[in-house]
Structure 1
């Protein structure tokens, strides 16, 4: 295109004027640009062809992103392409000629660079000296979008002419499309590399559920994808909010034992706190740099460091570290790769942790299952035994292979009121308990309390049966029943004689107040024993389903007055205040007066026992919704919430060492007697504020029950 003389810098004749030669030149140049897609190759061709066609001795091209920041560059002097030039040319975008061209979007011709302040007098690596030059610079535009700036120079001042400038601008216009396409291609290749790396990482990382293996796989993928010398992984300790380093490759393992860093400390801690990927090409110049990293590695120099948070369901659970890329610097896609692997790692780690917890829970269940002192059987939904613990094998006397496969109905009798043949009652996971008998292989019959419930084991639903031996409890119950029968039958008749005798003696005594007081105490004590014996007998009968009531119409107010009169000596003895609230218009009740009187006496005696000296006891009777409501309120210490149902069981006494003595039958009798009348009894209590025992009796009980 140029004459030999022009190529040697001796003139500028031969530059094509606008016309066919000029168009042919531009056509050939654009074809050369379009023949490559690699960005760096395209940039080198643009500079080489531009230098060749205008006779320049050196040239540079600087590519910028949408924000005007340099992302790639090429510098050529003669036949030599310089390396790592982007950082060198960045300053020209701030203060030099390229920056002026970029800001003004105009080409520039400088005849003598020493006379133009826009030319920075800085030698490149291959420059001989900073001498006067001639230079042209043109913006590279695509549809009003700045792609970059191209600058060409010749060592002879005044070498370039306006024709050169026009040609450079024309070449720059053609180069813009090629550069933009190359950038898009490079970006697509980068995205492809990232997606490939992430896909490979996903396949590798999710191939295991063992936590330690998962951590090692994550590090191997980071090392491979980032091509670095060392990688490490730390998880956040939720209790201390510290980073605990769990695994590493390329790190000095001897110094890696239980390394902990506070979240927010150093570059790594900052990434964990802020949740951002950090790429630092020279960590020691970063204000967040933590010298502790030197102690965690066996590296002599940290050239570059990349840190990414590990996320799971939006929560930061740890960080990944990658140090010292083998290329000397991190590629532009490093941030995307680290972020992507961090997300994949979070999911894989969480799954492994959950699996580890599940395995641990299964192990604990297995240990509890095998070590339980009670026989435990597991059946399928049809009642076929599929598993039995050690105690079940021992107590039932079957071989494990024989027992598994038997029906649960062959082992014990169902309570048909609670367990249906299809076991639908167990489908809501609630525990159902009932008493039954266990049939062993040798024919022995053992009383048991059965606890049945539905359980889920490894995503499958089963039925669990706990068979608790209650032989000792049954023996004790039998002993108590025998004792009660003995007490009733052996003491009832002699006690009746004592009461009759005391009544006769009372009528024969002189008017000596001290003697009459003693007789009154004796009479009250024998009457109390009679009530206790009657209550014992009634409890047995009611539990056996026998009818014990002898009902008649009774004024509830009179019943309360009688009960109060009986316990009043005990109230006066403790200097307590007993207050009654009895409305005048209470309806009569169809009840057994002796049974309900004993209920009131039991409640009042308990109130006297548990109320301090000079304390207040209240008896309140009311009528609402066709029921008469009795309330006995004391000012004692109250009853714990978890004991308020249990106190109505037989032989139950709260804190038997500290509380007043008793058999624990009064409240059990009271509940049975009230329920026998179609009523309900319960207790309300607040700590240190006393208790309120309340029972209700229906007014129209006569129409509902027959005597």
Structure 2
């Protein structure tokens, strides 16, 4: 009873700590640093499934060397697969257990025992919490149950932080849409408006670069009109008209390219790798419902864009279309005024 009472107190303490923050990275770091102190283990890691649900991505770690952390993927380990099904796994002899894929790495790191607990988020197992010791340890059922309960609290804390992060991103996007819309309304020259858009978006969406291409009416091909954050060599790599992504974009659909160095929707994979382009989100620019170009956002890392990102991309692309139409109308008016002035008798 005394041990259970102590664990309950610790459970309450750590729950308070990890739910106090609404920053996802801070939550991860708190978990991997706080839980080892409570359970008297030497190290901890958190890995979460990527948006594809196929790969575990290391989010935070404490007490382990970079060599061990970079030993290779652990997605197919039996202990991991069991944990992803919702079953906590305790391994007392990590260096000799068949459920461990890198026994030699465990020996070199001095890892003796491992406890793997599933992290549920929104009712689905979304990752794993691993606790590691450098002295052999037989985790008793109560410790396993306690670790599983802590992992569940981790999931709640992570979800709360993600919700807050998503709400903050939506707020920032809304502000950016308003700012860009106001700037478009106050500015007439097309080049000025397009330059404003491609320079503002990287700051708002944490991008590497941004470009706007429009269909040149005389040639029927896409022509670069504005760019930010890219080298001249990359911008001059070749036309984009024959890319599969362009086909869908000019049909009015947004296109998400998670890996610009391999994706079938793009052509210039080597150039993307050399430039350091990870992912691309492209949206059609339309005037009166007719696609006339595209707005592309490029990241330095591989990124899975959320529905919020895509909706924002479409909103800004729509505003770009409005800016273009306003610029066209403004230019027509200027030309007409010039003609009238030229025809007046002197």
Q: TM-score, normalised by structure 2?
A: 0.79
User: Are 2:87 and 1:106 aligned?
Assistant: yes
Report 1:21-100 matches (<5 A).
21-64=6-49, 68=53, 73-78=58-63, 91-100=73-82
User: Are 2:181 and 1:202 aligned?
Assistant: yes
CA distance in 1, matches of 2:61, 2:233: 49
Report 1:585-600 matches (<5 A).
none
Structure 1 counterpart of 2:282, from 308, 314, 322: 308
8 Å Cα contact 2:56-2:75 kept in structure 1: no
User: Are 2:139 and 1:160 aligned?
Assistant: yes
Sort the Cα spacing of 1:106 and 1:217 in 2 relative to 1 into closer, same or farther, 3 A: same
Report 1:550-629 matches (<5 A).
none
Give how far 1:179 is off: 2.1
What SS is found at the alignment partner of 2:201? helix
Give how far 1:131 is off: 6.1
Give how far 1:290 is off: 3.1
CA distance in 2, matches of 1:255, 1:172: 45
8 Å Cα contact 2:74-2:101 kept in structure 1: yes
CA distance in 1, matches of 2:118, 2:155: 9
Give how far 1:150 is off: 1.3
Sort the Cα spacing of 1:250 and 1:144 in 2 relative to 1 into closer, same or farther, 3 A: closer
CA distance in 2, matches of 1:60, 1:236: 50
Give how far 1:165 is off: 0.7
CA distance in 1, matches of 2:270, 2:149: 53
8 Å Cα contact 1:245-1:260 kept in structure 2: no
Aligned to 1:622: none
8 Å Cα contact 1:263-1:273 kept in structure 2: no
User: Are 2:194 and 1:215 aligned?
Assistant: yes
8 Å Cα contact 2:49-2:126 kept in structure 1: yes
Aligned to 1:284: 261
Q: Using CA pairs below 8 Å that are at least 6 residues apart, which structure has the higher relative contact order?
A: 2
**Structure 1, residues 114-136: CA drift from partner, whole Å, max 9, x if none?**
45443331788xx7726663211
CA distance in 1, matches of 2:118, 2:97: 18
CA distance in 2, matches of 1:232, 1:165: 52
8 Å Cα contact 1:264-1:270 kept in structure 2: no
Give how far 1:152 is off: 1.1
Give how far 1:68 is off: 4.4
CA distance in 2, matches of 1:287, 1:310: 19
What SS is found at the alignment partner of 2:101? coil
**Structure 1, residues 71-122: CA drift from partner, whole Å, max 9, x if none?**
8643424277x79x8x988x4345453332122x222222223454433317
CA distance in 2, matches of 1:223, 1:75: 26
8 Å Cα contact 1:228-1:322 kept in structure 2: yes
Give how far 1:300 is off: 5.7
User: Are 2:152 and 1:173 aligned?
Assistant: yes
User: Are 2:320 and 1:320 aligned?
Assistant: no
8 Å Cα contact 1:138-1:169 kept in structure 2: yes
Structure 1 counterpart of 2:331, from 351, 356, 360: 356
Structure 2 counterpart of 1:120, from 89, 101, 106: 101
Report 1:375-414 matches (<5 A).
390=345
Report 1:331-370 matches (<5 A).
332=305, 335=310, 337-364=312-339, 370=343
8 Å Cα contact 1:97-1:118 kept in structure 2: yes
What SS is found at the alignment partner of 2:108? coil
Sort the Cα spacing of 1:114 and 1:245 in 2 relative to 1 into closer, same or farther, 3 A: same
Sort the Cα spacing of 1:292 and 1:136 in 2 relative to 1 into closer, same or farther, 3 A: closer
**Structure 1, residues 523-565: CA drift from partner, whole Å, max 9, x if none?**
xxxxxxxxxxxxxxxxxxxxxxxxxxxxxxxxxxxxxxxxxxx
Sort the Cα spacing of 1:102 and 1:265 in 2 relative to 1 into closer, same or farther, 3 A: same
Gaps of 5+ in 2: none
Give how far 1:227 is off: 5.0
User: Are 2:215 and 1:236 aligned?
Assistant: yes
Give how far 1:196 is off: 2.6
Give how far 1:37 is off: 1.4
8 Å Cα contact 1:62-1:70 kept in structure 2: no
Sort the Cα spacing of 1:67 and 1:242 in 2 relative to 1 into closer, same or farther, 3 A: closer
CA distance in 1, matches of 2:158, 2:171: 19
Give how far 1:69 is off: 5.8
Sort the Cα spacing of 1:185 and 1:76 in 2 relative to 1 into closer, same or farther, 3 A: same
Structure 1 counterpart of 2:243, from 265, 281, 300: 265
8 Å Cα contact 2:283-2:296 kept in structure 1: no
CA distance in 2, matches of 1:267, 1:158: 54
Aligned to 1:139: 118
What SS is found at the alignment partner of 2:227? strand
Sort the Cα spacing of 1:291 and 1:34 in 2 relative to 1 into closer, same or farther, 3 A: closer
8 Å Cα contact 2:129-2:151 kept in structure 1: yes
**Structure 1, residues 215-256: CA drift from partner, whole Å, max 9, x if none?**
222222234334555433210135644211123345566997
Give how far 1:366 is off: 6.0
Give how far 1:276 is off: 1.9
CA distance in 2, matches of 1:150, 1:132: 16
CA RMSD of aligned residues (A): 4.0
What SS is found at the alignment partner of 1:42? helix
Give how far 1:168 is off: 0.6
